[in-house]
Amino acid sequence: MRITINDDFDLNKIVYSGQCFRPCMFNEGSKTYRFITKDHVLYISETNDKVVYDVSCSDKEWKNIWHGYFDLNLDYSLIRENIPDNDTYMKECAVDGKGIRILNQDKWEMLISFIISQRKTIPAIRSCVEKMCERYGSRIDTEYGSVSLFPSPNQLINVSEKELSECGLGYRVGYIMDAVKKVYYKDINLDLMKDWDDENLYDELIKIKGVGKKVANCVMLFSYHRTGRAPVDVWIQRVINEHYNGADPFYSYKDCAGIMQQYVFYHSIKD
């Protein structure tokens, strides 16, 4: 099936923007990318027309799953245009990051992935996540071969810390097991929390061991679509110090703060 996307949309920038760890370029020659969410797998290919894409799913699945996943109801070009002229650094980052969109990803996967992300490079995070998927996730067949899904709490509840540590998780193993137990035993209901306000959602997330301010804000931004949250890591803090004299620039962008953070993060890691 072919679809048309007229707004900012760059698959390569999305994949390497730091917000997701399983999407990848599947076939460089055909510019095909693979995205996975829950038990849905999408292969999407660029065409010579920059707004037309070939997708592996049905029209119904595109509308019900992937349209929202790629946040296609939001006009990102308009958001970029509204960056004030006096914020020259943000404008520079937005030009560089044009095409990035905030993905609406699976809440459980984002929770575990960003617990893993602490003090790890993006390639190292990807490696750990893939090892967990291959060892403990279900496998499904696609037109391009079988794919391992992200393991559920049910699939991880009986895994020992020793076994889990073999995925290269280091000190994060205890944090992950705490999250597994809290979600498995329903001490925390990630889906129910989608209707909570930001402060209550944040307070609930940080009850999980290893979930601090940065991880909680990442989970909120990338799986609850709280685009007013702008996670601050060492890269972002460096930008704040060097380009904004230590004053957080994201606060003034309100509900678009998280989008601005992604432009800045992409620009900073790219450099």
Residues found in the chain: 271
CATH code assigned to 107-223: 1.10.340.30
Residue 261 burial by Cβ neighbours in a 10 Å radius (0-12, 13-18, 19+): buried
Residue 271 confidence (pLDDT) above 70: no
> 160-200 pLDDT, tens per residue?
999 999 999 999 999 999 999 999 999 999 999 999 999 99
Query: What is the secondary structure of 153-199 as a DSSP string?
Result: HHHHTT--HHHHHTTS-GGGHHHHHHHHHHHHTTSS-TTGGGGS-HH
Tell me which residue of 40, 42, 101, 46 sits closest to 71, measured CA to CA. Answer: 101
Residue 252 confidence (pLDDT) above 70: yes
> 86-144 pLDDT, tens per residue?
999 999 999 999 999 999 999 999 999 999 999 899 999 999 999 999 999 999 999 99
Domain ranges of the chain: 2-69, 76-93+227-271, 107-223
For residues 78 and 99, give the distance between their C-alpha atoms in angstroms, rounded to a whole number: 12
Q: Which residues pair with 148 in a beta bridge?
A: 139
Structure tokens at 141: 């067949």
Q: Are 133 and 148 in contact (CB under 8 A)?
A: yes
Q: Which residues pair with 62 in a beta bridge?
A: none
> 208-226 pLDDT, tens per residue?
999 999 999 999 999 999 9
pLDDT at 8: 98
Q: Are 148 and 39 in contact (CB under 8 A)?
A: no
HSE of 8, CA atoms in CB hemisphere, 13 A: 22
